[in-house]
Structure 1
Amino acid sequence: MGGYELHQKLRTKAVRQLKKKDYAGAIESLHGGAVELLKEGEQGSGCDLGVYMIDVYGQAELPSDETSRGRILEIVKAAKPDFWRKKVIDAAIKWSAKVTSAPAGDGHLRLALGEALVASGEFYAAEGHLLAASAPPPGNASLASQHFDASAPTKFASSQLTWLYAHAETESQAKGESRDQATIARSASGRWALRGLLPLLVARAFTGSRAFLIAYVKELVTKHPKLLLPTQPNPKAFSPVGGTTTVQSDPLQLYMTANADLNFAQMTLALVGQAVSVKKSGQRVGDQLRNAWGGLIQQYQREGPALEADEFVGDTINGISTLYFDVRSNQPQGNFMQDMLGALMGGGPQGGSQPAPVIVKQPPAPKGVQRPDTEESAGDGGEELDLD
């Protein structure tokens, strides 16, 4: 039987089963048929049955559990990376968002999708899923514990490093490139760290951002000890600005490195952590902490290559200034970084307004990295997921 005939036969069979409310039977027919068709290279027909299966999940009010997610993953892994597979993934996320009440979809599903794409070397496609898996909606501990895996940020960190090393290997083989793979990896390591850290901070996923960066930096400097500066101690515990004690009982360990982007990422996390602790204690962010953040940005403008290479870095710095340091700069009319710094150094409008909507927005593909045209990214700005 040809692919088209089998596809039509299974759709007809599923319709009959659904008329009898035989949801389990319909799911079994559609899942088995989708996998079989995909193995035969019938991409459109196989993915269509996969989408139909997920629609039946909704009719049956099936929960997002290991079994239901497992069928989806089997179909995704069997499919080729084109718009047909995207239809399956989009349908799966939409279904899981509905049954779990997690706006970006079940974190377990997003993590599993990300890991599957990493395994096939589709790092940019995986990144959006891993970001979403690492950012449970803030203020909902029950949702986070039920539908998100606490290990997701650590796994995200390992994925970013794997992507970094793959990128470095490709770059080292480019015509005219004289640097070796290790040198390129050390040079670009801060950019890949910021790709994970900054979107998570803007999404108010502070716990996830902290776990991500700690795992990323620790694994990175273990493999590339040449990154570390010859200072002692290294790492050293972050000292709160102003000598206050409103920080976590487990202070952030800062690694002093030769990479300006990586140093900025660590100091950003440290200052944001102090701001979070200050606000949790019922206080307002003071001028000392706000000025320390402004000073860090000024230094980074002089030293940080990612600020110029990756436009999203400046955009997220602006968002972090508002969310954590209560800086309300005017609508930018030119150089928004200078506008925001002016607000910081001048005291800036502060307090009173509500936090911005929580969004996990995947950064655009790094310059020099080819972005797949048919994968799970949403336009040139990556994947944007409203988590408010």
Structure 2
Amino acid sequence: MAASSSSSKALNAILPLITAGQPYEAHQKARTFASRYQKSRQFDTAIDVLFQSARELLKAGQPGSGTDLASFLLEVYENKGETVTEESRGRLTQLIALTGSNGSWRKTLIDKAVAWSAKHGPCPAGDPDLQHYVGELLYKEGAFEAAEPHLLAAGKRDSARVLAQMFVDWSAAGGSPGTFALRGVLPYLLNGNILAARTFINSFTRQIISSKPSLASSNVSETIPINANPASDSAMATTDEIVVTTDLVLNWSQLAVRTCQRAKGAENKAAREAWVRLCGTYQSKGGLLANPNVRGILMEIAQLYFAIPPPRAQPANPFGDMLSSLLGAPAGGGGNATAPRRLAPVGPSTATDVLD
């Protein structure tokens, strides 16, 4: 790094103190030097001093001092206007890994790093590579609940695969496969991320059946072939399969992703009708899909993908109300309602660049 020669004077005064067992003195000197460099707008030098000092303090078992300098590093990033690059992200992932899982130090650093990447990168949810790194790190440490939002926010296909594996591992401690399927599918669909949703549900279904063979249905054929890419020329159409299981919610999750994949707002009436039938059929059986919170999410997905207006009020028959909206019945509500969100799911050729 270009700043290394400029920062050598400061580091020669700081790093030996850590080796000599004087972390407090090293921490104070690092802050003093970095403050001077930042004040004189020598941002790269300040960054190098803070990064190397924080790294060595963390290696020496000083998470408090190391995290404080890492937070200062992010302040310098902010003042400099540092964008998300391999180098700027790499410093943070090194420090996050060294912080360790004890206490709240790592969470503090992760939260600040993600916030910086959201502001200075192209993704409002934070840099996908940073989110993936954090999620996978936490998963490998067994912190499933903490890893989940990072893997969902990453939105990468690799992240979706890791999330699927984590949910399979998590389900061994209890919980139905369908519950975990929804926890992956619904957030990805709400973000318009069809490829991640599809990658997740395919991977999760395959792995959960492998770990729990009793999930495979014995009443019907194990798989149902469907047309995944309808085209006027049948030679161009690709085939797809739904793996039938004994878990209704897992079956619904597979079908929901395929149905949303065909959505074109109000244009594809067949897909709209398929969504209404799918939700109505499975919600009529009760269970998780009939839960009011889940129903609310499904209504939002119906708006996003199929341009189906929400019901006028809490209906006694959600299937009938959704069907009425589909067939053009008045949606009701006042004139002050905000415009609903709309999205067109990203096609495979475009989304590949985003997810990889």
Residues 201-252 of structure 1: per-residue CA shift (max 9 Å, x gap):
11111122112211221222233332111256422222589x9869994343
Determine the structure 2 residue equivalent to 1:118: 139
Determine the structure 2 residue equivalent to 1:89: 110
Determine the structure 1 residue equivalent to 2:289: 307
- 1:329·1:339 contact (CA, 8 Å) conserved in 2? no
Q: Name structure 2 gaps, 5 residues minimum.
A: 1-20, 332-337, 344-356
Residues 51-89 of structure 1: per-residue CA shift (max 9 Å, x gap):
111222233443423332222122223244654433322
Counterpart amino acid of 1:5? E
Cα distance, 1:40 vs structure 2: 4.9
Q: Structure 1 residues 57, 224: closer, same or farther in 2, change over 3 A?
A: same
Name whichever of 19-28 and 156-165 sits farther off.
Answer: 19-28
Cα distance, 1:9 vs structure 2: 1.8
- 2:280·2:319 contact (CA, 8 Å) conserved in 1? no
Counterpart amino acid of 1:356? R
TM-score scaled by length of structure 2? 0.76
- 1:34·1:50 contact (CA, 8 Å) conserved in 2? yes
Determine the structure 2 residue equivalent to 1:173: none
TM-score scaled by length of structure 1? 0.70
Determine the structure 2 residue equivalent to 1:5: 25
1:238 alignment partner, SS class? strand
Determine the structure 2 residue equivalent to 1:51: 71
Determine the structure 1 residue equivalent to 2:7: none
Q: Name structure 1 gaps, 5 residues minimum.
A: 135-148, 169-183, 359-388
Determine the structure 2 residue equivalent to 1:320: 301
Residues 132-184 of structure 1: per-residue CA shift (max 9 Å, x gap):
111xxxxxxxxxxxxxx54332233223223323x33xxxxxxxxxxxxxxx6
Higher relative contact order (CA 8 A, sep 6+): 1
Aligned Cα root-mean-square deviation (Å)? 3.3
- 1:17·1:25 contact (CA, 8 Å) conserved in 2? yes
1:62 alignment partner, SS class? coil
1:303 alignment partner, SS class? coil
Give the Cα–Cα distance (whole angstroms) in 2 for the partners of residues 198 and 246 of structure 1. Answer: 32
Tell me if 1:260 matches 2:248. yes
Give 1:356's match in structure 2, choosing from 317, 328, 341: 341
Cα distance, 1:355 vs structure 2: 5.0
Cα distance, 1:256 vs structure 2: 0.7
Give the Cα–Cα distance (whole angstroms) in 1 for the partners of residues 211 and 127 of structure 2. Answer: 33
Name whichever of 216-225 and 266-275 sits farther off.
Answer: 216-225
Determine the structure 2 residue equivalent to 1:201: 189
Cα distance, 1:25 vs structure 2: 3.1
2:82 alignment partner, SS class? coil
1:252 alignment partner, SS class? strand
Q: Structure 1 residues 233, 321: closer, same or farther in 2, change over 3 A?
A: same
Give 2:217's match in structure 1, choosing from 215, 220, 229: 229
Determine the structure 2 residue equivalent to 1:17: 37
Counterpart amino acid of 1:275? A
Residues 297-337 of structure 1: per-residue CA shift (max 9 Å, x gap):
232224353336x76422211111111222112353x45x8
- 2:280·2:318 contact (CA, 8 Å) conserved in 1? no
Identity %: 30
- 2:231·2:237 contact (CA, 8 Å) conserved in 1? no
Moved over 6 A (4+): none
Determine the structure 2 residue equivalent to 1:176: none
Determine the structure 1 residue equivalent to 2:162: 155
